Amino acid sequence: MMGDQALYDLTTPVFLIGFMGAGKSSVARKLARMCGVASLDLDAYIERREGRKISAIFKEDGEAAFRALETEALRELAQDHDPLLISCGGGIVVSPENRRILKDQGCTVYLVVDADEAAERISDKSSRPLFNDLASARARLQERVPLYEEVADQSIQTSGKGVYAIARELQRCLEGSGVICLRHE
């Protein structure tokens, strides 16, 4: 126990998916602090491994090269010995292989956001090479919604909610389905 904080263990990897601006990384960080579980952001992991920002990878090598790195990282982390809470990039569902991993190798939670709210939440759009204007973001989201829904075990509506409220909802949903359990020490 850390103070009087209850600590939890993950019984299986948890993948947070959803469009850019859904709050995947912030919610993963918040839940990790609240429950004492290990979390990792897939984009940050790729950036550390490559020694470059995601925007530089897109600019220098193109989207296909980024997608290959993304699949490699997901494959590797999904098999990690200790299950992790992994926040994924918004385009993770585009690849059929990634969708298979998300369906078969853990619990996948879809954080639902609409394009307008996503645009308001993303302060630095230069870090998102695929978030251009609102119209194209809406179209991209519409294409992806069926893919997010296809792989999701659970979904959480995030509109109008703050990071803490979403993280609490996620905690309840993971506890309810036995994906996180109180740690017995």
CA angle 177, 20, 71 (to 5 degrees): 75
**Residue 34 engages ligand S3P in binding (rule: CB under 6 A):** no
Amino acid identity for residue 156 in this structure: I
* Euclidean distance between the first and the last CA atom of the chain, given in angstroms as a whole number: 8
**Residue 17 engages ligand S3P in binding (rule: CB under 6 A):** no
In the set 28, 30, 40, 43, which binds ligand S3P (CB under 6 A)? 43
In the set 54, 73, 74, 102, which binds ligand S3P (CB under 6 A)? 54
Residue among 76, 78, 81 nearest 106 (CA): 78
Indicate the residue among 89 and 106 with the shorter CB distance to ligand S3P.
89
**Residue 28 engages ligand S3P in binding (rule: CB under 6 A):** no
**Residue 91 engages ligand S3P in binding (rule: CB under 6 A):** yes
Indicate the residue among 69 and 174 with the shorter CB distance to ligand S3P.
69
Residue among 67, 77, 76, 71 nearest 28 (CA): 77
In the set 90, 93, 141, 158, which binds ligand S3P (CB under 6 A)? 90
Question: Minimum CB separation from ligand S3P for residue 4, in Å?
Answer: 33
In the set 10, 14, 16, 20, which binds ligand S3P (CB under 6 A)? 20
In the set 7, 32, 34, 130, which binds ligand S3P (CB under 6 A)? 130
Complete edge-to-edge strand list for the sheet that includes strand 14-17 = 39-41, 85-87, 14-17, 107-112, 154-157
Q: Write the DSSP symbol of residue 41.
A: E
In angstroms, rounded to a whole number, what is the distance separating the alpha carbons of residues 38 and 169?
Answer: 18
In angstroms, rounded to a whole number, what is the distance separating the alpha carbons of residues 17 and 35?
Answer: 19
**Binding piece for ligand S3P, criterion CB under 6 A, among 88-96, 156-164, 166-174, 175-183:** 88-96
Interacting residues with ligand S3P (CB under 6 A): 20, 24-25, 43, 54, 89-91, 128-130
